[in-house]
Amino acid sequence: MKRLLLPLLTLCLLAGCNSEPAKPAEKPQPKPVELETGRGPLQKAYIAARGWNHDAQPVRLESQLNGDSKGADGKSAIWRTIFASPGARSVKVFTWAGTDAPDAPGRGINPGNEDNYNPSNSSTQVWDITYLKIDSDQAFQVAQKHGGDKLLEKNPDTPLLYVLDWNGGTGQLVWHVIYGTTRDEAKLRVAVNASSGDFIRLEK
């Protein structure tokens, strides 16, 4: 028995002498901000919305301003999509965030609360995601050719918002490129066909 204990004791002492003090745990590095055009976050939100209701379709997609993103080049760190379920007569918001900033929701897809939905309301018509052929960065380029370039040349810090919705009157999916912090106080608003990329009009 003594013969067994002596080698074990020796090993324990050696291990104690050679052991290094535990290193403090490294703090995780913050993830870089993800700036996305509208199509990617919409598709991610669409998957989540179909898990909520199988007939869910988008009503509106819109970017949001925050400290990490002012909407340059058709990209944003936050995209908010409103989905409606005609069958359930319900509407639900899904927000995607690519930032951990305090003025943003949690990174990834964030579902909101449900609300009532009226399928006959012409201002909140659902649309098929396959109609979206032109992404927000392409809509931005079209808007630049219709007054946006001159505006940004004079005021390069002008924030931009992007809103995508269905125009029931013309039967078109439309990007609204908004130069300003709100739709009502915008310095310029340009409507672009989200299926063809054609310039539609300057909005007042």
Q: What is the pLDDT of residues 94-110, one digit of tens each?
A: 999 999 999 999 999 99
10 pLDDT above the threshold of 50: no
Domain boundaries, the chain: 39-202
Q: Give me the DSSP letters along the chain.
A: -HHHHHHHHHHHHHHHHHPPPPPPPPPPPPPPPP-B-SHHHHHHHHHHHHHH-TT-EEEEEEE--BTTB--GGG-BSEEEEEEEETTTTEEEEEEEE----TTS--SEEEEEEEEE--TT-GGG----GGG--S-HHHHHHHHIIIIIHHHHHH-TT--EEEEEEEETTTTEEEEEEEESSSSTT-SEEEEEETTT--EEEE--
> What are the φ and ψ backbone dihedral angles of 7, each rounded to 5 degrees?
-65, -35
73 pLDDT above the threshold of 90: yes
Average pLDDT of the chain to the nearest whole number: 90
- For residue 24, what pLDDT is reported? 60
pTM of the model: 0.85
